[in-house]
A = this chain, B = another copy of it.
Amino acid sequence: MAKGGIVWLTGLSGAGKSTLASSLSAKLAAQRPVELLDGDEVRTFLSAGLTFSRADRDTNVRRIGYVARLLAKHGVLVFVSAISPYAATRTEVRRAAEAQGIAFVEVFVNAPLETVTARDVKGLYAKAHAGEIPAFTGVSDPYEPPEDPTVEVRTDRETPAESEDKILSALRSLSLC
Contacts and interface: CB of A to CB of B under 8 A. Distances in A.
A59 B46 CA distance: 9
A33 B1 contact: yes
Given A1-B33, A33-B1, A59 B48 contact: yes
A42 to B, nearest CB: 9
A62 B45 CA distance: 8
A75 interface: yes
Given A1-B33, A33-B1, A46 B74 contact: no
A3 interface: no
A35 B1 contact: no
Contacts of A75: 33, 74
A71 B74 CA distance: 8
Interface of A: 1, 33, 35, 45-46, 48-49, 59, 62-63, 66-67, 70-71, 73-76
23 contacts: A1-B33, A33-B74, A33-B75, A35-B70, A35-B73, A35-B74, A45-B62, A45-B63, A45-B66, A46-B46, A46-B63, A46-B66, A48-B59, A49-B59, A67-B67, A67-B70, A70-B70, A70-B71, A71-B71, A71-B74, A74-B74, A74-B75, A74-B76
